[in-house]
Amino acid sequence: MLAFVLAFFCLPANAAVQKYQAQFFDVFDTFSQVTVYSSDKEVAQTVTATVYETLLECHQLFDIYNEYEGINNLKTVNDNAGIAPVKVDERLFAMVAYGKEMYYQTNGRMNIAMGSVLKIWHRCRTEGLLSPEKAALPDMDELKQAQRATDIENIILDEENQTIFLADPNMSLDVGALAKGWAVELAADSVQDMGAEGVLLNIGGNVRALGHRGDGSPWRVGVQDPANLSGQESLTVANLSGLSLVTSGDYQRSYTVDGRSYHHIIDPETLMPAEHYRQVTVITEDSGLADALSTALFVMPLEEGLLLLDDFPGVCALWVCKDGTVIRSEGFAEMAGE
Ligand code: ADP
Ligand code: MG
């Protein structure tokens, strides 16, 4: 049945509860892994299939590059900028509404209305990766021109009719900062009550832990060490139950120009990749919040980030600075079960 599953295999856990694992590569252009502990193989299969279906639906709804027959997705919304409101699925509406709200909550550091600017970086990165000898930085005048079309107020949301309208014809939405986390949270919600002992979703580094492992212990989730990306050694290991862990790093999507690496998290003020850290990791229950905040914190100086966390009880963060210094917010060690 599960055609998408490259591997769905069962590993002995204890006499009754078994471990099942599935992997796929076709959602959010990234590697995904679902691990389930259950005493019932059918439960494990249903959980895996439901996670996959939910992620695939979200992938299509949140896609800004491709159209899919019969659905209005973010590309439809972007294509109709300055033209007409677009009626969308409630999951897409809620995600965009959340993204808009997070703009205000992050002092504008995370701006989903920055599609026009991010598009230019995306084009330069794609070209630079394709022909490294011709790799170039975006033109600053072009970036500044694009910046004019990033006013969050021009996202007009009509709750009653579930429509999204971009009032500026040059505006476009890019939800890369929070879409994966939002989708992971929806997937987690959809399998929460299916009866598995534990489920671990890892969607391109957006990790959501439900329940526990077969022996009753929390899930163990390694935080990648930016100084040792190819190695097995983690920076730290979090012991999680009922929590999400999301990391943003300067090594995740980057390209090289004149021997210097340029990554994909863009400071809305400088219009250049944010230079504060190598990595930011956020732990909190909601995976959408963790994703949004990992990007927002990445773009903020440390003092601002620490202050921001005061507004978000139940959220903790770990920063890896440029020089390798590791900083933990208050409560990180405890929440991570380090
Ligand atoms: P990833 O998606 O690689 O895990 P992030 O969650 O940090 O990493 O999101 C980065 C993505 O968010 C970028 O690829 C881009 O699409 C988008 N983005 C980059 N900078 C910003 C920003 N300041 N505000 C909102 N979105 C951003
Ligand atoms: Mg993010």
Q: Give the model confidence (pLDDT) of 228-284 as tens digits.
A: 888 788 999 999 999 999 999 998 888 999 999 999 999 999 999 999 999 999 999
Q: What is the pTM of this model?
A: 0.94
Q: Is 124 in the pocket of ligand 1 (CB under 6 A)?
A: no
Confidence bin at 66 (pLDDT 50/70/90): very high
Mean pLDDT lowest for which of 11-15, 124-128, 309-313? 11-15
Structure confidence at residue 144 (pLDDT): 98
The response to whether residue 268 sits with its C-beta less than 6 Å from ligand 1 reads yes
Average pLDDT, the chain: 94
Q: How confident is the model at residue 313, as a pLDDT?
A: 95
Which of 208, 228, 221, 205 lies closest to 320 in space, CA to CA? 228
Cβ of 202 closer than 6 Å to ligand 1, yes or no, is no
pLDDT(5) > 60: no
Tokens at residue 61, please?
């709804």
Are 265 and 317 in contact, with CB atoms under 8 Å apart?
Answer: no
Cα(212)–Cα(215) distance, integer angstroms = 8
Report whether pLDDT(14) > 70.
no
Residue 9 has pLDDT above 80, yes or no: no
CA 40 to ligand 2 centroid distance, Å: 34
In the prediction, which pLDDT does 135 show? 93
Asked if residue 7 has pLDDT above 70, the reply is no
6 — pLDDT class (breaks 50, 70, 90): very low
Q: For residue 5, which of 30, 28, 22, 27 has the smallest C-alpha distance?
A: 22
Lowest mean pLDDT among 97-101, 106-110, 225-229, 235-239: 225-229
Q: According to the model, what pLDDT value does residue 10 have?
A: 63
**Burial of residue 153, with CB atoms counted within 10 A of its CB: 0-12 exposed, 13-18 middle, 19 or more buried:** exposed
- With a 6 A CB cut-off, is 114 part of the ligand 1 pocket? yes
- Which residue has a Cα nearest atom 27 of ligand 1? 177
Q: For residue 109, which phi and psi values (nearest 5 degrees)?
A: -70, -30
- 164 in Cβ contact with 155 (< 8 Å): yes
Whose structure tokens read 């502990």? 37
Measured between alpha carbons, how far is 10 from 214 in angstroms, rounded to an integer? 12
Closest listed residue to residue 219, CA positions, set 194, 193, 245, 195: 245
The ligand with the least distance to the CA atom of 205 is: 1
Confidence of residue 11 (pLDDT cuts 50, 70, 90): low
Reported as a single tens digit per residue, the pLDDT across 178-229 is 999 999 999 999 999 999 999 999 999 899 999 999 999 999 999 999 988 8
Across residues 93-112, what is the average pLDDT? Answer: 97
List the single range of 1-10, 41-50, 131-140, 278-287 with lowest mean pLDDT: 1-10
Distance CA 120, CA 123 (A): 5
Cα–Cα dist 252/328, whole Å: 21
Q: What is the pLDDT of residue 3?
A: 41
- Per-residue pLDDT tens over the stretch 159-171: 999 999 999 999 9
Whether 80 contacts 170, CB under 8 Å: no
Share of the chain above pLDDT 90, in %: 90
| Distances from the Cα of 211 to the Cα of 50, 75, 157, 286, 316, angstroms | 17, 36, 36, 14, 20
Per-residue pLDDT tens for 18-51?
999 999 999 988 999 999 999 999 999 999 999 9
More confident residue, 15 or 136: 136
User: Rounded to the nearest whole angstrom, what is the distance from the C-alpha of residue 16 to the centroid of ligand 2?
Assistant: 37
